Amino acid sequence: EYEKTIFDELDLVREAANASQLRHNFKDSPILYVPEVFWPETRRNVLVMERIHGIPVGNIAELRRRGVDMKKLSERGVVVFFTQVFRDSFFHADMHPGNIFV
């Protein structure tokens, strides 16, 4: 059972499907952009997505240097989280600073 769980967690096709679902759910959102998955190149062990540029949300000093309103940023993060959970019945379990850019 443990081995199956680990392999399921490492299945990048499943990860790509989740990313695509999140992108679809927020397609009209003015506060969240989810990169496109390039399905023809994506495999169980390779996930190919659109490259985007931004400041990692964990780089607080750079965000402040660029004048990002930290209160508004945190409020928007809460809105995104609760929207995906309560509106979409969806939970992105990999929301860490390395996956979130401003």
Residues tagged active-site:
94
The sign one gets for the Cα dihedral 78, 82, 88, 91 is: positive
The torsion defined by the Cα of 72, 76, 79 and 83, in degrees rounded to 10, comes to 160
Q: Would you mind telling me the total number of residues written for the chain in this entry?
A: 102
